[in-house]
Amino acid sequence: MAETQFTPRVFSGIKPSGGLTLGNYLGAIKRWVDMQGPAFETIYCVVDLHAITVWQDPATLADATREVAAGMLASGIDPAKSILFNQAQVPAHAELAWLFNCVARLGWMNRMTQFKDKAGKNAEKASLGLYAYPSLMAADILVYHATHVPVGEDQKQHVELTRDIAAKFNHDYGEAFFPLTEPVIEGPAMRVMNLRDGSKKMSKSGDSDMERINMTDDADTIAKKFKKARTDPEPLPGEVAGLADRPEAKNLVDIYAALSDTTAEAVLRDHAGAGWGTFKPALAELAVEKLAPISDEMKRLMAAPDEIDAILAKGAERAEAIANPILERTFDLMGFVRSRR
Ligand code: ATP
Ligand code: MG
């Protein structure tokens, strides 16, 4: 198949399934801000259609959507540099997802670990949408011919599935139409862990508020949560190898490194031998310094929902201008009659 040249384009999204966490900030938003610039066209999305794969109260979904958008804007996603919108305003995502449901194989979906984690023991009661979610995610990415997807470690398998869907589509319909998108998973905090259980990732939909730092938490709450974070009794080692069997310690060091734009090695060089009584307050102070300006701006934006809605509407129009021609070409390649055009 002939090689196709694709415009370097970034797509990524966050579900409005709860308040934003430090995991969402370090694993996603902070890096999205850094990718804005001449190297890429950047498209960022509040993926509300993904949120409803688990129950969302209609009375709160709109505000949750605006809060995620506010978190992105307050962190530095600039509508002049990036396209920012919510998924439900661009129908092409759901349309392409259906086409991809007929490309993706059941065997591939059955391997998705996130479905197993989220469905839990009672998978029979999970929604069909939760199972099909990776196919919609592939559509989110490929409806823009996105070449790069900055995500946390937990989404790696879904981006790989996106590549499988693109490759099978290209093979079946005889044209190198969809790019084989690269996941971009770089930095010290690609899997921020739950503060009470270092074997689980920090999630906005997790059970207890104490297990996560929310981007809107105030200084006292942040200090309290880090203070109560589970750790072992040992002081910090001088080298990263010393964190190998210490997931909770490694997590706090990685968070410190990501917040201060450095590496775990550099953090340990500065803090070797420190006990938790010293390191945890230093970490809390750093987190407050970085998050407080963002949370203040989020509060301002949340008090101006019309401003957010206008940005999302404009972004949706710009997104659709890219997505619709790609969707149309997909229908053509598959042989549909589209005589209304
Ligand atoms: P939910 O619990 O509803 O799944 P979530 O916190 O996992 O919420 P998502 O909307 O699923 O958030 O993911 C949004 C982005 O944030 C993705 O790129 C994901 O990889 C990233 N992300 C989520 N949690 C973490 C984490 N703990 N560490 C690093 N990145 C994360
Ligand atoms: Mg998630």
Indicate whether 126 and 256 sit together in one domain. no
From the candidates 81, 118, 156, 314, give the one annotated as an active-site residue: 118
- Residue 279 tokens read as 């390191």
Residue 154's domain spans which residues?
A: 9-190+304-334
Q: Specify if 149 maps to a domain.
A: yes
Number of helices and strands (H, E) in the chain?
14, 5
The per-residue pLDDT for range 75-122, each reduced to its tens digit, is 999 999 999 999 999 999 999 999 999 999 999 999 999 999 999 988
Indicate whether 27 and 175 sit together in one domain. yes
* Domain CATH number, residue 289: 1.10.240.10
- Is 314 part of the annotated catalytic residue set? no
Instruction: Please state, in angstroms and rounded to a whole number, the distance separating the CA atoms of residues 318 and 97.
Output: 20
Pocket of ligand 1 (CB under 6 A): 14-15, 17-18, 21, 23-24, 27-28, 151-152, 154-155, 190-192, 201-205
Indicate whether 40 and 73 sit together in one domain. yes
Q: Specify if 174 maps to a domain.
A: yes
CB 52 within 8 A of CB 132: no
Q: Specify if 251 maps to a domain.
A: yes
Q: How many domains does the chain have?
A: 2
Indicate whether 268 and 218 sit together in one domain. yes
Query: Hey, which of 11, 24, 141, 192 would you mutate to test ligand 1's pocket, going by the most ligand atoms within 8 Å of its Cβ?
Result: 24
Residues paired with 260 in a beta bridge = none
Q: Specify if 340 maps to a domain.
A: no
Indicate whether 83 and 138 sit together in one domain. yes
Whether the model pTM is above 0.85: yes
What pLDDT score does 4 carry?
A: 77
Q: What angle, 0 to 180 degrees and rounded to 10, lies between the N-to-C axes of helices 264-271 and 247-259?
A: 100
pLDDT greater at residue 209 or residue 1:
209
Q: How far apart are the first and last CA of the chain?
A: 29
Rounded to the nearest angstrom, the distance between the alpha carbon of 29 and the centre of ligand 2 is 14
Rounded to the nearest angstrom, the distance between the alpha carbon of 336 and the centre of ligand 1 is 36
